[in-house]
Amino acid sequence: MRFKLRNTFARCALAFGFAPAVFTSSLQADWPQFRGPNAGSVSLDSKLPTKFGGESNANVAWQTKLPGRSVGGAIVIGDQVITTSSSGMDQRRLHLISVNDKDGSIRWQQEFVARGRTNCHPTSAIAAPTPVSDGKYVYAFYSSNDLACVDLDGNLVWYRSLSTDFPKAGNDVGMSSSPIVVDGVCIVQVECQGDSFAAGLSCQDGRILWRTDRPKQSNWASPVAIKLPSGEQVVVMQSSQDLLAVSPKTGKTVWTMDVKCSSIPSAMAAESRLFVPAAGLTVFDLSSAGAVPSKLWDNNKLAANACSPLVVGKRVYTISRTVLASADLFSGELKWQARLPDAKSIWSSPVVAGNNLYIFTEDGKCFVVNLGDEKGEVVETNDLGESVLGSPAISGNALYVRGVSSLWKIAEK
Amino acid sequence: MFAMQSIHSSIAKLKQTALALSIGLGMGVTLQAESSPELIKQLQSLKSNDASNQIATDTIRQLNAANDVTLIQSLTAMKGATPVGRNWLMGLANSLYRKSGKSQTAELNKFLSDATQDGEARYTVFKWLTASNAELRKTLLDGMKQDPSPELRYLAISEAVQAKPDTKELLSLLDSARHAEQVVSIIGVLKEKGTVVDQVKQFGLLTEWKLIGPFDNVGTVNFDKVFPVEADWINGKVKDEYESKLVADGKNVNAKWINESAKSEDGTIDVAALYSNEKGCIVYAATEFDSEKEQDAELRLGCINGNKTWLNGKLVMSNEVYHTDMKIDQYTEPVRLKAGKNQILVKISQNEQKEQWAQRFAFQLRVSDSTGKAILAKGK
């Protein structure tokens, strides 16, 4: 029963014109975007195995090799697991691939050719942003600023080359901001030293409904949708120079703050609070009806270099390099820290199922950390033997991991 | 017989009209019923703007629903289409291939063998045909080392290099290779085998430069400032000296032209070394290229700093980007060379970032044809 809601939520969201906002629920089985429903990275009711992979390939339901490489995450819509990839000369071939949840077979593929820049750091890929779906369409964005919309059968609905519109949009380290969909608008944040902007495109036909200039600085953070006390939805965008909320339909500024935010980990909202990677972690009050959210607290011991924060219960969690920190949601007081032993670089944002946090490293290890009140305990260290830079998805009692060259489903056998 | 065809044709047109009307009514717009070939033509000429996107979205919806458009039609239409149009057509082709592609092997083989068709379309077809046929893949790639499709050529040469060929074959592959990283890779393999290739000549990198600077760029605010030397160069008459920025000892020193030859095999001019790692400054570099004839060419620049490039007084490139990457062919721009001496000026702009990875101040430039094959100056 719990997972009968799969895909229903997204369809309702589309029908009624709203997107997931501040609450943290565990009932949705779809994982429609980067960090899942509400960008919360949490699926409390899911029961995932703590031990998987390794030489015995334990609890690996399937592993599907995919063309090229990807550092973005997968999404789950109904019985489809959808991911992107970039392959071939200069990674110019942009893939959008649907995999059957049941057996890992390829259901459909779409493919385009990058029309924007395809330079990127060797650890990254042109397939870096995580795709997003409103339950009817899937929107795939790439470092080259190509944006494609397909239906759930993989048929092209529309395509847009934002680098053709804005030729100086690009970053030779690679872009990675993931798009979101709010109120029938697909929102992209394209911040770089050249043509730097954010834009809202019509989900129906890819028209640019609005575009706003952004600071000319490289930025890899993703926008996030939040709901204000009035019920209005706004899109929050961060950069090294500001924190900005805009209306998703018009792009008009709702509020802006002079906050120097991190340019890699992204903000998230929970419990009427906005958690922003800035000055360590800075938390703003979303409960008041005032024009600009007031600051509740900040704590420089909760800095994150790459991973986005997440909230479970009355705790907020951040990762700085290889140290996981837990702090009180209301005061910001640091409760405990746990070092991830022998961990290499971490780029993938963690997810939580039940009371366990799953965090993947660049060299393919996954630390499973039990989140206690007094301490965090590493209960298992798994090894997929494949580099992982994208954030995993959770649907039902399964974990979906996008490795650089393959897609994995992890579930209790 | 003809009467029946006419009836079928009429029914098909009625279906199209009904489809178009139903879509049009549903979308609140009026669409004209058009045949699939006409609709495909619309996709061919697409640009990336709002008006085009509305038309294309309606067009692709009709084509996805139509029964009379064929896979080969959509692939053939990619020839001559705009880059944006090619992606719309590729999206259509992928859907059609899922529906019926596997029954069209003969037609697809014929399409692939026609080297006059669009290179991106042919590479797509190649992947479809060889996805589960390693033997066919090898056979086809063996004959594609000089294919006009850059992607097919790149793949064919990559596979051939991996097969550990002898030196003669490697030299032949080097002659065919156009992709900069692939060229460097083959030269590296040849070197391991004891054959040294002049990489600078292979790429056609320009090595002889005259530089002048540093000029003020404190605060990174003068990227677009036209310094006197820039104005003079554009007007075709430069002086020997210009007033420079304040240097470390607080004195103005007149900047003079200095000669510099690229010493590395990637043709890099290390501007930082020439100007004592000066930050917040601009340096100009000038050279000339003696072309055998008037011809189409590309200027291909690699630069880790903000940069502008002029050819014969005309600005051809401008990239205000700092410390993201530098490699051969990083920025390319088609140009028309005149016969004889062509004047090239590069403006390199350094900012004041303090990070260890943000200290480079360098560039490299070459002249090639549109495929990346070096065009050498007269007498080189």
Determine which helix (DSSP H) or strand (DSSP E) holds B38, and give its type and residue range.
helix B36-44
Contact A161 B94 (CB under 8 A): no
**With contacts defined as CB-CB under 8 Å, which chain A residues touch B120?**
113
Which pLDDT does position B324 carry in this prediction?
82
* Phi then psi dihedrals of residue B58, to 5 deg: -65, -40
Q: In Å, how far are B125, B221, B235, B285 from B226, measured between CA atoms?
A: 50, 12, 12, 15
Interface test with A, best of B43, B57, B99 (most A CBs within 10 A): B57
Q: In Å, how far are B144, B145, B161, B202, B268 from B155, measured between CA atoms?
A: 9, 8, 10, 20, 28
What tens digit of pLDDT does each residue of B27-63 get? Answer: 434 444 578 888 999 999 998 788 889 999 999 999 9
CA distance A161 to chain B (A): 6
**With contacts defined as CB-CB under 8 Å, which chain B residues touch A110?**
91, 94-95
DSSP for A339-403, written as a single string: E-TT-----SPPEEETTEEEEE-TTSEEEEEEE-SS-EEEEEEEE-SS---SPPEEETTEEEEE-
CA distance A236 to chain B (A): 25
Q: For residues A335 and A300, give the distance between their C-alpha atoms in angstroms, rounded to a whole number.
A: 14
Contact B57 A171 (CB under 8 A): no
Q: For residues B79 and B74, give the distance between their C-alpha atoms in angstroms, rounded to a whole number.
A: 10
Instruction: State how far Cα B320 lies from the chain centre.
Output: 19
CA distance B96 to chain A (A): 9
Letter for the amino acid at B348? Answer: I
Q: What is the pLDDT along chain B (380 residues), one digit of tens a residue?
A: 333 444 344 434 444 444 443 433 334 344 445 788 889 999 999 987 888 899 999 999 999 988 889 999 999 999 999 999 999 999 999 999 999 888 899 999 999 999 999 999 999 999 999 999 999 999 999 999 999 999 999 999 999 999 999 999 999 999 999 999 999 999 999 999 999 999 999 999 999 999 999 999 999 999 999 999 999 999 999 999 998 876 656 666 789 999 999 999 999 999 999 999 999 999 999 999 999 999 999 999 999 999 999 999 999 999 998 988 899 999 999 999 999 999 999 999 999 998 888 899 999 999 999 999 999 999 88
Which pLDDT does position B1 carry in this prediction?
35
Which pLDDT does position A350 carry in this prediction?
98
Instruction: State how far Cα A302 lies from the chain centre.
Output: 20
Residues 6 or more apart whose CB falls under 8 angstroms from that of A53 comprise A59, A60, A366, A382, A383, A384, A385, A408, A410
Q: Is A106 on the interface with B (CB under 8 A)?
A: no
Contact A115 B84 (CB under 8 A): yes
- Give the three-class secondary structure for A162: helix
**With contacts defined as CB-CB under 8 Å, which chain A residues touch B88?**
156, 159
DSSP for A178-224, written as a single string: PPEEETTEEEEEE-SSSS-EEEEEETTT--EEEEEE--SS------E
**With contacts defined as CB-CB under 8 Å, which chain B residues touch A92?**
151
Lookup: tokens for A199:
């834009």
Q: Which of B56, B155, B330 sits opposite A158 (nearest CB)?
A: B56
Contact A173 B325 (CB under 8 A): yes
Q: What is the pLDDT along chain A (413 residues), one digit of tens a residue?
A: 333 344 444 444 443 333 333 333 444 489 999 999 999 999 999 999 999 999 999 999 999 999 999 999 999 999 999 999 999 999 999 999 999 999 999 999 999 999 999 989 999 999 999 999 999 999 999 999 999 999 999 999 999 999 999 988 888 889 999 999 999 999 999 999 889 999 999 999 999 999 999 999 999 999 999 998 888 899 999 999 999 999 999 999 999 999 999 999 999 999 999 999 999 999 999 998 667 999 999 999 999 999 999 999 999 999 999 999 999 999 999 999 999 998 889 999 999 999 999 999 999 999 999 999 999 999 999 999 999 999 999 999 999 999 999 999 999 98
Average pLDDT over chain B reads 89
Q: For residues B203 and B182, give the distance between their C-alpha atoms in angstroms, rounded to a whole number.
A: 12
Q: Is A165 on the interface with B (CB under 8 A)?
A: yes
**With contacts defined as CB-CB under 8 Å, which chain A residues touch B93?**
none
- The size of the A-B interface in CB pairs under 8 A is 109
B-side interface with A, Cβ within 8 Å?
Answer: 47-50, 53-54, 56-58, 60-61, 64, 83-84, 86-88, 90-92, 94-95, 98, 120, 123-124, 150-151, 154-155, 179, 319-322, 324-325, 327, 330
Interface test with B, best of A93, A113, A164 (most B CBs within 10 A): A113
Return the CATH number at A169.
2.140.10.10
Contact criterion met (CB below 8 Å) for B13 and B21:
no
Q: Which of A90, A111, A193 sits opposite B90 (nearest CB)?
A: A111
Which pLDDT does position B255 carry in this prediction?
92
Contact B48 A205 (CB under 8 A): no
- Within 10 angstroms of residue A41's Cβ, the number of other Cβ atoms is 29
Give me the residue label for tokens 């493919």: A111
Determine which helix (DSSP H) or strand (DSSP E) holds A312, and give its type and residue range.
strand A310-312
Q: Give strand pairing partners of B211.
A: B258, B285
Which pLDDT does position B68 carry in this prediction?
87
Q: Is A337 on the interface with B (CB under 8 A)?
A: no
Q: Which of B54, B124, B321 sits opposite A194 (nearest CB)?
A: B321
Which pLDDT does position B250 carry in this prediction?
60
Which pLDDT does position A19 carry in this prediction?
39
Residues 6 or more apart whose CB falls under 8 angstroms from that of B55 comprise B42, B46
Q: Which of B47, B57, B124 sits opposite A158 (nearest CB)?
A: B57
Q: For residues A364 and B300, give the distance between their C-alpha atoms in angstroms, rounded to a whole number.
A: 38
- Within 10 angstroms of residue A287's Cβ, the number of other Cβ atoms is 14
Q: Pick from A176, A193, A85, A173: which is nearest to A122 by CA?
A: A173
Total domains in chain A come to: 1
To the nearest 10°, the Cα dihedral for A368, A371, A374, A376?
20
Contact A119 B321 (CB under 8 A): no
* Domain ranges, residue A48: 2-411
Q: For residues B371 and B365, give the distance between their C-alpha atoms in angstroms, rounded to a whole number.
A: 16
Contact criterion met (CB below 8 Å) for A366 and A358:
yes
Question: Is the preceding omega at residue A32 within 30 degrees of 0, hence cis?
Answer: no
The 8 Å CB, 24+ separation contacts for B269-276 are B269/B209, B269/B211, B269/B362, B269/B363, B269/B364, B270/B361, B270/B362, B271/B211, B271/B305, B271/B348, B271/B350, B271/B361, B271/B362, B271/B363, B272/B350, B272/B359, B272/B360, B272/B361, B272/B362, B274/B211, B275/B213, B275/B214, B275/B361, B276/B248
**With contacts defined as CB-CB under 8 Å, which chain B residues touch A87?**
none
How do strand A42-43 and strand A351-353 relate by DSSP bridges? parallel
Q: What are the E-state strand segments in A78-182?
A: 80-87, 93-100, 106-113, 132-133, 137-141, 146-151, 156-161, 180-182
Q: Which domains does chain B have, with CATH numbers?
A: 34-128 (no CATH), 134-197 (no CATH), 203-368 (2.60.120)
Q: Which of B48, B60, B322 sits opposite A160 (nearest CB)?
A: B48
Q: For residues B104 and B124, give the distance between their C-alpha atoms in angstroms, rounded to a whole number.
A: 14
- Give the three-class secondary structure for A4: helix
Contact criterion met (CB below 8 Å) for A223 and A189:
yes
